[in-house]
Amino acid sequence: MTGQVILKADRISMTYNHGASVIRVLDEISLELKKGEFTTIMGPSGSGKSTLLHILSGLQSPSGGNVLISGNCITSMPDSTLTEFRRRHIGLVFQDFNLIPMLSAEENIMLPLILDGKRPAAGEVDHILKLLEIEHRRCHRPGELSGGECQRVAIGRALVTNPAIIFADEPTGNLDSRSSNNFCELLRRLNETEGRTILMVTHSPAVAAWSNRILFLKDGKIRGELNSPTGASTDEIVERLYGLLLKPGVRV
């Protein structure tokens, strides 16, 4: 891994007004992602994981703080500029796959390029399809693909523009354990062989174990960090997470 910082979040806050009260979802979170890192954010339900991911990926604006991706401050960008930046420099993978039903697998992968009015480089899409092992399904529509294949297409869409960072929000949430495993293996491979920078959100320790850094989020703050978790450390992840639940406010 190189030391170049790809993503820098500085004192990110997110608050909602609910009647007279103010709900603080994220409380001045700061973090950095270096190029080639595979980071997971874990936390109990309602801890603000997805909100943090949406803010870091530019889908949502924070109440306070800044996010820089490759040196560009996305929190101060106007909507159209941000949208184009997201298209070219950010890859997104969702829990529900969120493929466009009227486009084929190949066209779904190419969607960011279609929106940009660009043609892919020669063989690029073929390379992605081959990498994702879905060449034989390139002309099929999402309705004709399995969940695992759909998620692979989603990964392909996230990869096609060679983004600076890939964000994945509960990517295995709708997959069975086998597909989930295969998917995680793919992410790992992308990270190790292609040096892709990945930020993933999950509540599954088994999925989180595939990453090389885990950040634990509770009550809007990062409460702990675990580096280089392996399969053997899955228990440790569970223990840390459990500790988080039992002892609120305590750093694990």
Closest of 55, 66, 90, 54 to residue 196, by C-alpha: 90
Site for other proteins in 161-220 (CB under 8 A): none
Instruction: Kindly state the smallest distance separating residue 246's Cβ from other proteins, in Å.
Output: 30
- Cα 111 to its chain centre, rounded Å, is 18
Residue 92: CB atoms within 10 Å: 20
Instruction: Kindly state the smallest distance separating residue 157's Cβ from other proteins, in Å.
Output: 7
Map residues 136-165 to x or -, x wherever contact with other proteins holds by CB under 8 A.
Answer: -------x-------------x--------
Query: Is there a contact between 42 and 33 (Cβ–Cβ < 8 Å)?
Result: no
Site for other proteins in 36-95 (CB under 8 A): 54, 59-60, 79-80, 83-84, 86-88, 92, 94
Closest of 20, 30, 105, 92 to residue 67, by C-alpha: 30
- Nearer CB in complex with other proteins: 114/206: 114
- Nearer CB in complex with other proteins: 147/243: 147
Stretch that binds other proteins, among 112-120, 174-182, 189-197, 230-238 (CB under 8 A): 112-120
Residue 32 DSSP SS3? strand
- Nearer CB in complex with other proteins: 1/102: 102
Cα–Cα distance for residue pair 101/144, rounded to 1 Å: 10
Residue 165: CB atoms within 10 Å: 22
Cα–Cα distance for residue pair 201/214, rounded to 1 Å: 10
Cα–Cα distance for residue pair 113/125, rounded to 1 Å: 11
Pick from 15, 63, 66, 98: which binds other proteins (CB under 8 A)?
Answer: 98
Residue 100 binds to other proteins (criterion: CB under 8 A): yes
Query: Which residue ranges make up the site for other proteins (CB under 8 A)?
Result: 54, 59-60, 79-80, 83-84, 86-88, 92, 94, 96, 98-103, 107, 111-112, 114-117, 143, 157
